[in-house]
Amino acid sequence: MAEEAVGSIVLIVDGKEYDCASCETQKQTGRRPVPTMNRERRNKYRTSGVKSYTLNAAVIIPDGKDTVDWDNIVDARISIESPTGGFRETYIDCSTSEVSESYSVEGETRRNLSMFALDMLKESM
C-alpha cells in the first residue's frame, strides 16, 4: 500500500496565510573538511561551522492592495505546513534580502522573495 506524501503547503507569515505558487528552503549545515598534509593525501578532519537557512518563495500578487510590505519583512515567523497539519517547519526571525516581480503571458503574476532565517523548528503533529 502506498504512503501519502505532502502534496501542497500553506505559507504562513506571522500567523496569516498567503497564496504561494512555490517555496524552496535550503539548510546549510556549516560542516566542511579541514585539509591537512599527511601521507595518505586525504582529509582527515572536519569542522562544524555555522548553520544557515535560506528561503525562496513565489507568492501570488493580489488584484488590489497587497497587505504585506514584502520589502521590509524583518524578524518574521514563517511556517510551511501541509493542509492536513501532519507536516510543519517553522523558520524564526526571517528577513527579506531580495524581492522581485514576474509577469507572464498566461496571466500569472508572482512576487519572488529571497529570505534568510536565523533558526528553524521541525514540528511533528
pLDDT at 83: 79
For the chain of 125 residues, list the mean pLDDT of each consecutive stretch of 10: 72 81 91 90 91 92 79 88 82 93 84 94 79
- Domains in the chain (CATH in brackets) are 10-124 (2.40.30)
- State the residue for C-alpha cell 601521507: 39
pLDDT at 125: 66
- Distance between CA 90 and CA 81 in Å, rounded? 8
pLDDT at 118: 95
Name the helix (H) or strand (E) containing 33: strand 32-34
Query: pTM, whole model, 2 decimals?
Result: 0.78
